[in-house]
């Protein structure tokens, strides 16, 4: 059922809505006279994308802001020790979940009652219809669990990757300029504006350098460290016998750091994924930011589409610079993110400007 939510047809219908959410967010960032905390704002962005695009909820902005705060409290206490005492993280998490589910139930009921003006089928629509097709209408509790699962899956990892993307574009202005050159050559960027109707799924798929940039961000800054599997059949690995039924953890980061196919592993180099080198093509399991096998991440295509749409907007309609003297330290838990969130000042582009800064001016505008 969930695989239908991330099909090619579904992604095509989500794309215009994703663009709209990103445009509105970047406009808000640019209108802020103070530098923003990119990681915190990226969390808000991915939460808004999940609510507005994936679930199709028409929640007012003020109420959406309150729901986001409750959701953050829920996420912060997900891994608390199960000790149900007053003021414990466990109790705070339980209360946040209860409040969150009340808000979701209200939104679901309003959605079920108001089907007017829908121009696309969102993930919740697909979930509901799939249940009916299998002769089982989903209960309200199942719908609440499904929506919470979708929000959770779209939230932290995408916010992490979005923050890493912005930080690497700041660190490497030539990469940003090369992205703009590709957008111009494909007829997507013209006179500082994205040409109307140019951002379709097939057009975005044709942007090879953009694909390389996103791949390199996910190689060097994979949001999560690894995954778990259960051994189905006893096997041997490097002389060690791994018994059936054991749990095995595989490390994505260590795989990327030690894979022999990657040269200069600590260097941010999108060209390593270009046609001339294709370092990820030599072997199946050297590059696995979304895991591998039958349990690979279902939402990987949506995540990459979101990151590509964000990169296109950043390269086309934004000017931004680091607001601190140095780049922040990176922490790996619970997902990869800058310790202080990455402070960046965004500038709005005047509508009279013919084109976004290029060449040396672009490099100066993208650094301190």
Binding-site residue positions for heme: 297
Reference 18, options 45, 44, 38, 57; nearest CA is: 45
Query: What is the Cα–Cα distance from 321 to 292, expressed in whole angstroms?
Result: 36
Contact at 8 Å (CB) between 88 and 99?
Answer: no
Binding residues: 297
| 328, 33 Cβ separation under 8 angstroms | no
Question: What's the gap between Cα 241 and its chain centre?
Answer: 38
Which residues fall within 8 angstroms of residue 97, CB to CB, at 6 or more apart? 74
Q: Return all residues near 202 (Cβ < 8 A) that are at least 6 apart.
A: none
Q: Which residues contact 206 (CB under 8 A, 6 or more apart)?
A: 186
Q: CA-to-CA distance for 210 and 159, rounded, in angstroms?
A: 18
Q: Which residues pair with 331 in a beta bridge?
A: 337
Which is nearest to 108 in space by CA: 53, 147, 164?
147
């Amino acid at each position: 059922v969930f695989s239908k939510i991330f099909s090619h047809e579904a992604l095509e219908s989500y794309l215009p809505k994703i663009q709209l959410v990103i445009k509105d967010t970047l406009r808000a960032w640019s209108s802020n006279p103070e530098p923003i905390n990119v990681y915190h704002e990226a969390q808000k962005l991915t939460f808004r994308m999940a609510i507005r695009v994936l679930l199709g909820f028409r929640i007012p902005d003020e109420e959406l802001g309150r729901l986001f705060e409750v959701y953050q409290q829920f996420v912060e206490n997900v891994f608390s020790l199960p000790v149900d005492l007053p003021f414990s993280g466990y109790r705070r998490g339980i209360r946040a979940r209860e409040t969150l589910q009340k808000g979701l139930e209200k939104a679901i009921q309003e959605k079920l009652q108001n089907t007017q003006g829908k121009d696309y089928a969102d993930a919740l629509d697909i979930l509901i219809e799939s249940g009916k097709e299998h002769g089982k209408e989903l209960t309200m509790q199942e719908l609440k669990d499904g929506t919470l699962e979708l929000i959770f899956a779209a939230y932290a990892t995408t916010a992490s990757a979005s923050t890493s993307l912005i930080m690497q574009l700041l660190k490497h202005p030539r990469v940003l300029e090369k992205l703009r050159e590709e957008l111009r050559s494909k007829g997507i960027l013209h006179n500082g504006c994205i040409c109307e109707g140019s951002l379709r799924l097939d057009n975005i798929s044709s942007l090879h350098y953009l694909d390389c940039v996103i791949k390199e961000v996910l190689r060097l800054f994979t949001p999560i460290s690894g995954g778990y599997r259960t051994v189905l059949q006893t096997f041997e690995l490097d002389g060690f016998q791994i018994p059936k039924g054991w749990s095995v953890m595989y490390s994505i980061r260590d795989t990327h750091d030690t894979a022999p196919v990657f040269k200069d592993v600590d260097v941010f180099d999108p060209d390593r994924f270009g046609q001339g080198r294709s370092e990820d093509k030599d072997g199946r399991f050297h590059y696995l930011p979304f895991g591998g096998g039958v349990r690979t991440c279902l939402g990987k295509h949506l995540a990459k589409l979101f990151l590509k749409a964000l990169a296109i907007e950043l390269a086309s309609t934004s000017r931004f610079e680091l607001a601190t003297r140095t780049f922040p330290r990176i922490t790996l838990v619970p997902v990869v993110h800058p310790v202080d969130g990455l402070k960046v000042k965004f500038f709005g582009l005047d509508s009279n400007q013919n084109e976004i800064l290029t060449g040396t001016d672009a490099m100066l505008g993208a650094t301190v």
